[in-house]
Chains A and B, each alone.
Chain A
Amino acid sequence: MNNTTNSPTLLEIEGLHIWYSTSQGEAKAVNGLDLKINYGEVFGLAGESGCGKSTLIQGILRLTKLPGHIQSGKAIFYRRTQPWMFEPMDLIKLKPEEVRHLRWNHISYIPQSAMNVLNPVTRIEPQILDAIIEHSNLSKHEARERMYERLEMVGLSRSVARMYPHELSGGMKQRVTIASAVSLTPELLIADEPTTALDVNVQRVILQELQDIREKLGLTILYVTHDMAVHSEIADRIGIMYAGLIVEVGTAVEVIKDSLHPYTLALVKAIPHVGGERQRLQGLQGVVPSPLNWPSGCAFHPRCPRVMDICREERPLLQEYRPGRLVACHLYR
């Protein structure tokens, strides 16, 4: 575990608004979000369904589909141009061709249920080669060598390339997906619930694999999952997302063992423990609000056990409470 709080910035998002136009008005799925991801870290993004994390990721990758649109905001990405030179660029302002070049080369993505993304009637090799060749200038020969190198890096033998997806287990398919996603050594890998569909034993291996390639390739990983136990196991820093906003940021130890925001506390308390005294947990009352109609003031106030009058009126800003420790909550003004 590294304390990457002071590492150089890789991606800085400011005031991002991504809305969906519906007949009932604008659904503000991402509602003025601020987020900073640092070079070389595993940044865990935690939040339940409905918090906007998928919309956020699609926004970063410029994959937002209508009726979704990026309303405003910046996403400054420090693209590597030389081994030690990084050039800032605003992802939101890029043209489609520029974004296409960025994907796979600089920012890569493992979607939810990635292993189901593999074409079942084609062998593994052409699927990976196609992706490499499309996004780079490598020759077919060079692409194949790169593919073998990456397969071996994730602990798979070269012979996997000749197989069909159905001949591979869930864990192997996921490793193929990871190998493919890092084939062009991107700076940032975004993984969206990569182990949700896998058994707990296989999950452990996949998490280990991700950490390995992070070391070997100098990757930064944005790991998205609602499972706080997984964050506890692999994240360097954690960001908690609720109602389209980041409400707390800190190192994994800080966020889990010294939670500030009441929502974070509820998520942490919901991490089941095995062994030891069995206590009845409270869970979280109420439901996730709708982006069509976020509650006034702090969006969490209807469910907050420590709500105050000001919480209903004024939205708390994400502010630095201690160095590196951000929280959006009136309790900490």
Chain B
Amino acid sequence: MTTENDIVLHAKNVTKEYSVPGAFLRPQHIAAVDRVSLALKEKPDIISLVGESGSGKTTLSRMLIGLTPPTEGEILFRGKNVVKLSREEKRIYKRSVQPVFQDPYSIYNPFYKIERALEVAIRNFKLASSKDEARFLIEESLSAVDLRPGDVIGRYPHQLSGGQCQRVMLARIFLIRPKVIIADEPVSMIDVAIRTLFLNILIDFREKQGISCLFITHNLSTAYYVGGQMMVLCFGRVSESGEIGQVIENPAHPYTQQLLHSIPSPDPEKRWTQRVSLEYVERPFTYESNKCVYVGRCPQAMPICSQQRPPDYEIGENHYAACFLYRDRPMRTAAD
């Protein structure tokens, strides 16, 4: 019997390390993802994973889909380590956790008509027992993502816009009905006015189809629009997490505060007034495990920030920040 709080997909304290050449040709270990935990539960929800390039968000998503194993920690699907699944369990895992990628055209074989992606999914997952039924399902799934079947069926990917191709991806998701979508920057390559349509479908998938989404983006505004939970990744570590409205209204971590300040204002009468320097924004983060990863750039850095890695402190209900500014608050326990 599964309950709402049962975890479907769990990244348990995962780390992904790489070796890069360091000084004197001695290999230096860099953690692209550094002891991160993330849980997607039975209850459908959208978790936005927000971070800049190099923050580790893509690496984390690849581990969750099973494309690469963690160096430390485990990825669990319904409680079982994904590298230890039986063939049948693996099949269920692959069906339950489906990716959506950034480049709308990259997934499709340009030599085939676009509906082939849907036909293949129907065949692989045995969703229809006749050609007519398959056709019906294809049309239904396209309508579900606001595409007119006549506009799309019979066309090749290059004949469709990025927004249409991306929505056909979602039509495929609608057919397969996974439990979780892992969407890595799904809207950054489609036009702003079309993005809304795509994001509305993701929201509908949660409300009406019960499909959860791990929404990976560097764009806080789109994350805010889809709602749900948010985790901010800063060079491989989770710096802040919580319900997105709460985090945006009360950003605790200095890194979150800076991200918010950098969003261009939609009101031309309220423009930026403060100056920022590039050195300040791009000063390299430190990789050492016994420091706060943001200490090189933090305007509020204290001595302790260079001596220990900050644990998660509780800011509000379900709202945590890994920052010593809050060391008088309760620390997060494993039960949370």
Q: Say which one of A54-62, A70-78, A105-113, A200-208 lies at the interface with B.
A: A200-208
Question: Does A96 make an interface contact (CB < 8 A)?
Answer: no
CB neighbours (8 Å) of B53 from chain A are 170, 199
CA distance A282 to B258 in the complex (A): 30
Q: A230-B264, A233-B272, A270-B193 are in contact. Are A278 and B282 (CB under 8 A)?
A: no
Nearest opposing residue in chain A for B191, CB measure: A48
Is B259 in contact with A200, judged by CB distance below 8 angstroms? yes
CA distance A207 to B260 in the complex (A): 16
Q: What is the number of residues of chain B that contact chain A, defined by CB distance less than 8 Å?
A: 47
Question: Does A182 make an interface contact (CB < 8 A)?
Answer: no
Please, what's the 1-or-0 string for A248-280, where 1 marks a CB less than 8 Å from any CB in chain B? 000011001100000000110011111100101
CA distance A200 to B232 in the complex (A): 14
Is A229 in contact with B276, judged by CB distance below 8 angstroms? no
Nearest opposing residue in chain B for A254, CB measure: B268
Question: Does A85 make an interface contact (CB < 8 A)?
Answer: no
Question: Does A288 make an interface contact (CB < 8 A)?
Answer: yes
Question: Does B220 make an interface contact (CB < 8 A)?
Answer: yes
Is A270 in contact with B196, judged by CB distance below 8 angstroms? yes
Question: Does A32 make an interface contact (CB < 8 A)?
Answer: no
Is B220 in contact with A49, judged by CB distance below 8 angstroms? no
CB distance from A257 to the nearest CB of B (A): 7
CA distance A266 to B192 in the complex (A): 10
CB neighbours (8 Å) of A235 from chain B are 268
CB distance from B130 to the nearest CB of A (A): 32
Is A274 in contact with B278, judged by CB distance below 8 angstroms? no
Is B227 in contact with A278, judged by CB distance below 8 angstroms? yes
Is A272 in contact with B225, judged by CB distance below 8 angstroms? yes
Nearest opposing residue in chain B for A228, CB measure: B192
Instruction: Report B's interface with A, CB cutoff 8 A.
Output: 52-53, 151, 161-164, 191-197, 200, 203, 218-222, 224-225, 227, 245, 248-249, 258-269, 271-272, 275-278, 281-282
18 contacts between A and B (CB under 8 A): A50-B161, A155-B277, A171-B281, A200-B220, A201-B258, A201-B276, A201-B282, A233-B272, A253-B268, A256-B266, A270-B193, A271-B192, A272-B222, A274-B221, A281-B225, A283-B195, A283-B196, A287-B161
Instruction: Report A's interface with B, CB cutoff 8 A.
Output: 1, 48-50, 155, 169-172, 175, 199-205, 207-209, 226-235, 252-253, 256-257, 266-267, 270-275, 278, 280-285, 287-288
